[in-house]
């Protein structure tokens, strides 16, 4: 199952340069890397990245993380995937810009539904 991470341009650049990351500041503070499902990622963008440009959407295969990925309740009891190890560049199946149009982030087809 594909899960998603939104990174700011500098966070994505750091992952590409260093080969791994403990995530964005919120991830470091919480002690795990936050991900969203296809159904959750648009709300994540609206709640945590409203109006931000220069974002990247990363797609990752949840099965690749094994026991390091935990599904834990958040927002109203919904289960969100959390990674309890550094995120490695090799974990990323794909990445693409997440543009804004008319104040709203534009997700690829099938994502952010």
Report pLDDT digits (tens) over 71-90. 999 868 999 999 999 999 99
Q: How far is CA 80 from CA 76, 100, 104, in A?
A: 11, 24, 22
Q: Which domains does the chain have, with CATH numbers?
A: 2-105 (3.20.170.20)
**pTM for the complete prediction?**
0.95
| C-alpha span between 89 and 76 (Å, rounded) | 31
Confidence (pLDDT) at 9: 98
């Amino acid at each position: 199952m594909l899960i998603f991470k939104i990174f700011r341009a500098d966070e994505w650049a750091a992952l590409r340069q260093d080969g791994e990351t403990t995530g964005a500041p919120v991830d470091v503070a919480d002690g795990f890397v936050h991900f969203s499902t296809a159904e959750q990622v648009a709300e994540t963008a609206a709640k945590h990245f409203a109006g931000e440009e220069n974002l990247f959407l990363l797609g990752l295969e949840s099965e690749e993380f094994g026991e390091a990925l935990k599904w834990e309740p958040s927002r109203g009891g919904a289960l969100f995937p959390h990674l309890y190890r550094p995120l490695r560049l090799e974990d990323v199946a794909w990445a693409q810009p997440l543009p804004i149009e008319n104040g709203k982030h534009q997700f690829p087809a099938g994502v952010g539904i």
